[in-house]
Amino acid sequence: MAEVVVLGAGISGHTAALHLRRLLGRGHKVTVVSPNSNWNWIPSNIWVGVSKLPKEKVIFPLAPVYRRKGIDFLQAKATAIRPKGDAQDSRGAVDIEFTGQNKAGQTDRIRYDYLVYATGPKLKFEATEGLGPDAGNTTSVCTADHAREASEKLAATIAKLKEGTPQTLVVGTGHGTCTCEGAAFEYTFNVDHELREAGVRDLATLYYMTNEAQLGDFGVGGMTFNQNGFETSSELWTSSLFRERDVRPIVGTHVHKITSSTINFETLDGEMHDLDYDFAMLLPPFSGQPVKAFDAEDNDITGEMFAPSGFMKVDADYTPKPYEEWKASDWPSTYQSVGYNNIWAVGIAFAPPHQISQPRKSPNGTVIAPAPPRTGMPSGVMAKHVAMTIVDRIKIGSKAKAYEAPLSKMGAVCVASAGTGLTNGSAAAMIMNPVVPDYAKYPTGRDLATTRGEIGLYGHWSKLMLHYLFIYKAKARPGWQLIPE
């Protein structure tokens, strides 16, 4: 009997666990370890954050699904990985600390034959003074609870506008190294939509503050679209939306400090600025989870398995190079951990070899550069391929060829909501192929025949359909495996 352990139950971990259980006989054991009791469809947190969906519509409990599918579930967080076991057992092991109410604080060590590392990111609100909903002064949509709190504060802001009091709202990134600019983009235009529906848009000043050097970068270096034979950049495409909706962008920013009324930030030219605000939703930067690694003799090997960012090293080229010398082929294809043929890292848990967007520094030496996104569709695709690799290794043997899902060859679809409503909603639908641009193959880095962007009501219907489809899929309802990642 083989024992497979999956650390994390987000899009990547949950997808991997379901496919492992589907493809493996019940004689093999699949265990999921996650500190959270609920699964969250994070893309729809945007709508929770503007009071269009209740929190309960974007989450569901994991335990009943895993019980029904024959997957063991431990509500706990991983604290250490021991890839070569310990003095008692040479099999791989994971040290865990339980987070569920019944065992909270208790620890254990579990064994594995194969490990999928899908812990997702640590939300580093502490990277910016005053950032975040817990110890800071801003809201967030990173979790369902955060989004609900954001919706309450947004509602209070709209109430003040209805009383005739002008308000300044700021949405964007709260640090120079943030990722997920797409989520900030979505929330900005959903807020704009809500302000218009409430009839108070004329009293509201809405800013979009981002670490992108230009609009439409999204952490992927921007895109070129071919529409009816005319090539246009994602910068022009998105800029038109900002002008149309009267959203004021501030690009190339690094936020230094946030008080209850003022955001202090630096721009790429090295200038410092203060912006007074009444409501702010600013995303945090990400780092890897604080998981250590030890060898069988209990020596710390964290630096060997993990990059300084805390994300796990995989089959990528991490050789230091100037940005201009990086190639698409430097990105991973199998996501297998360096030095271990039974460990994989998927989703946001793996360490990118370099940034996709050109890294920049201000004259003061401040890094202002979007980190590469690894969420949504790509996370699910790489998780499924890793699950298939593990199944083959179990059934055929350790020499079974690994399935590949390189971001340098994988396309991705992103549907970014720009306001919800069956008749007046809209969304920006973008397709990029591949995610990591390949300038050796394509002059613009991506295939112009399949890289495109459109915005309109149909996009909102698509996003709404995807909301229900992916929650159905995540609940492992009949035929779930037929819904693409």
Contact between 368 and 176 under an 8 Å Cβ cutoff? The reply is yes
Domain membership of residue 473 (yes or no) is: no
How high is the pLDDT of residue 438?
95
Domain membership of residue 467 (yes or no) is: no
pLDDT for 267 beyond 90: yes
pLDDT for 209 beyond 80: yes
pLDDT for 419 beyond 80: no
Q: How does pLDDT run across 62-93, given as a tens digit for each residue?
A: 999 999 999 999 999 999 999 999 989 999 99
- 14 vs 376, residue with greater confidence: 14
Mean pLDDT of 2-29: 97
Question: Per the omega criterion (within 30 degrees of 0), is the bond before 434 cis?
Answer: yes
Domain membership of residue 17 (yes or no) is: yes
How high is the pLDDT of residue 90?
92
User: How many CB atoms within 10 Å of residue 191?
Assistant: 27
Domain membership of residue 355 (yes or no) is: yes
Domain membership of residue 293 (yes or no) is: yes
Token pair 């039974």: residue: 342
pLDDT for 115 beyond 80: yes
Q: What is the CA radius of gyration of the chain?
A: 22
- Note down the domain range covering 371: 3-123+287-395
Quote the strand ranges of 135-271, DSSP E: 167-173, 204-209, 224-227, 230-233, 248-250, 253-258, 262-267
CA separation for the pair 70, 86 (Å, rounded): 28
DSSP symbols for 282-333: EEPPEEE---EEB-TT--B-HHHHB-TTSPBP-SS------GGG--GGGS-S
Domain membership of residue 72 (yes or no) is: yes
Q: How many domains does the chain have?
A: 1
Amino acid in position 212: E
CA separation for the pair 40, 294 (Å, rounded): 31
Q: How does pLDDT run across 336-356, given as a tens digit for each residue?
A: 999 999 999 999 999 999 999
How high is the pLDDT of residue 422?
76
Provide the CATH number for the domain around residue 34. 3.50.50.100
Q: What is the pTM of this model?
A: 0.95
Domain membership of residue 83 (yes or no) is: yes
DSSP symbols for 465-479: HHHHHHHHHHTT-TT
Domain membership of residue 149 (yes or no) is: no
